[in-house]
Amino acid sequence: MATSAALRAPNTFRAGPDERGRFGIFGGRFVAETLMPLILDLERAYEAAKTDPAFHAEMNHWRTHYVGRPSPLYFARRITEHLGGAKVYFKRDELNHTGSHKINNCLGQILLAKRMGKTRIIAETGAGQHGVAAATVSAQFGLPCTVYMGSKDIDRQAPNVFRMKLLGAEVRPVESGSRSLKDALNEALRDWVTNVADTFYIIGTAAGPHPYPAMVRDFQCIIGEEVRTQIAEAEGRLPDSLVACIGGGSNAIGLFHPFLDDPSVRIIGVEAAGRGIETGEHAASLTAGRPGVLHGNRTYLLQDDDGQIKEAHSISAGLDYPGIGPEHAWLKDTGRAEYVAATDAEALEAFKLCARLEGILPALEPAHALAHVIKIAPTLPKDHIIVMNLCGRGDKDVFSIAQHLGADL
């Protein structure tokens, strides 16, 4: 066992993807020919930007003065005391402008869109956090923005829909398929295929065809890089565990990636178990799916025996996706990261605990991460350090949580 694992383990977990955009067998460029020249263009433009100090200088300027980075690394004393075990830190990416980690990626992509001379932005959104972030940078950089959103998500994320409209974006409801995030992605791809000359597609998570998974990860890595510096200042050492929620997996890969080659750091991604894995109504593609090809990449998917994509379910619209970023699929198969799941009910309980003990309303997405922290922290020694990515704030969820708790607003 140990030998085969050692043989399988690469020298570094941070070198991917390869030139074909693959992490092991995952990733790739499974797109229609119309889009192929566009993603090759994007790859060239991104490779050039990546090594251009001017691009990074501009990013850093906007991160500091517009997004409000670095976000704090906060010792959650009350939760730590309540759980009675490991020390729990929150990476406070919910304090970013627009209220989640999504702005990190949107900022990078819109700067790239400007460099490429694109004049129109499209995006897909589930919870609306990415849609809001895309609408925000589009407003700031003066580009028209169209956001595709499943009509089911429009109903449960009404405040974010209105925010996008206030920011000048057009929100196009998607009625096809399961009317949620995967269908919004299909519809955005259809738009891109139709408007190839002027349009830049800001994908919101670390999935899709190469180079998106790598590019989105790179833009989100600021999270983990800051944590490295901040935890060194706070504790003088590396954390023992990292915990983040996983829908497509962008906040998680941003936290995890800078630590992949530190073997002492345990890495845990938390998927949405919905009403329970055994009910089949969940969004846990790594826990309960198998490899397949969707939205331009090979990854773990929720699918039936015929390879038809199944509808995901989660209380959190942002995790309600039947796939997962390809790098997570690879990290699972190599054993470098562990993937677990938390149910709707566990996430709601975590949400309530966080509100009452810490005075923080987490988004329902990181409430899943917190639900897992609640499970493991009491079993760990007091000198064990957990860093959890609090990647979004819960203001957007207040109405749907009220509904779940039976409160009449």
Partner 1 sequence: MSSRIAACFAALRKEGRAGLITFLTAGDPDRATSLAILQGLARAGADVIELGMPFTDPMADGPAIQAGNLRALAGGMTLKGVLDLARAFRAGDDATPLVLMGYYNPIYSYGNARFLADARAAGVDGLIIVDLPPEEDDELCLPAHAAGLDFIRLATPTTDDRRLPKVLTNTSGFIYYVSITGITGTRTPRAQAVTQAVARLKRHTTLPVAVGFGIRTPADAAETARAADAAVVGSALVERCAPGGPGVVKDVLGAVAALAEGVRGARR
- Selected from 64, 176, 279, 403, the binder of partner 1 by CB under 8 A is 176
3 state SS for the chain? CHHHHHHHCCCCCCCCCCCCCEECCEEEEECCCCCHHHHHHHHHHHHHHHCCHHHHHHHHHHHHHHHCCCCCEEECHHHHHHHCCCEEEEECHHHCCCCECHHHHHHHHHHHHHHCCCCEEEEEECCCHHHHHHHHHHHHHCCCEEEEEEHHHHHHCHHHHHHHHHCCCEEEEECCCCCCHHHHHHHHHHHHHHCCCCEEEECCCCCCCCCHHHHHHHHHCHHHHHHHHHHHHHHCCCCCEEEEECCCCHHHHHHHHHHCCCCCCEEEEEEEEECCHHHCCCCCHHHHCEEEEECEEEEEECECCCCCECCCCCCCHHHCCCCCCHHHHHHHHHCCCEEEEEEHHHHHHHHHHHHHHHCCCECHHHHHHHHHHHHHHHHCCCCCEEEEECCEEHHHHHHHHHHHCCCCC
Question: CB-wise, 41 or 155, nearer to partner 1?
Answer: 41
Q: How far is the CB of 96 from partner 1 (least distance, A)?
A: 31
Give the interface segment with partner 1, choosing from 1-9, 85-93, 182-190, 215-223 (CB under 8 A).
182-190
Shortest Å distance, C-beta 311 to partner 1: 9
Based on the shown chain and the rule CB under 8 A, indicate whether residue 34 belongs to the binding site for partner 1. Answer: yes
- For position 399 contacting partner 1 by CB under 8 A, the verdict is no
Binding mask 86-115 for partner 1 (x = CB under 8 A): ------------------------------
Residue 378 in the binding site for partner 1 (CB under 8 A): no
Exactly one of 177, 261, 266, 338 binds partner 1 (CB under 8 A); that residue is 177
**189 sits near partner 1 (criterion: CB under 8 A):** yes
Question: How many residues of this chain bind partner 1 (CB under 8 A)?
Answer: 36
* Minimal distance, residue 320 CB to partner 1, in Å: 15
- In terms of CB distance, is 37 or 263 closer to partner 1? 37
Question: What residues line the site for partner 1 (CB under 8 A)?
Answer: 20, 28-38, 176-177, 182-183, 186, 189-190, 193-196, 292-296, 298, 301, 303, 305-309
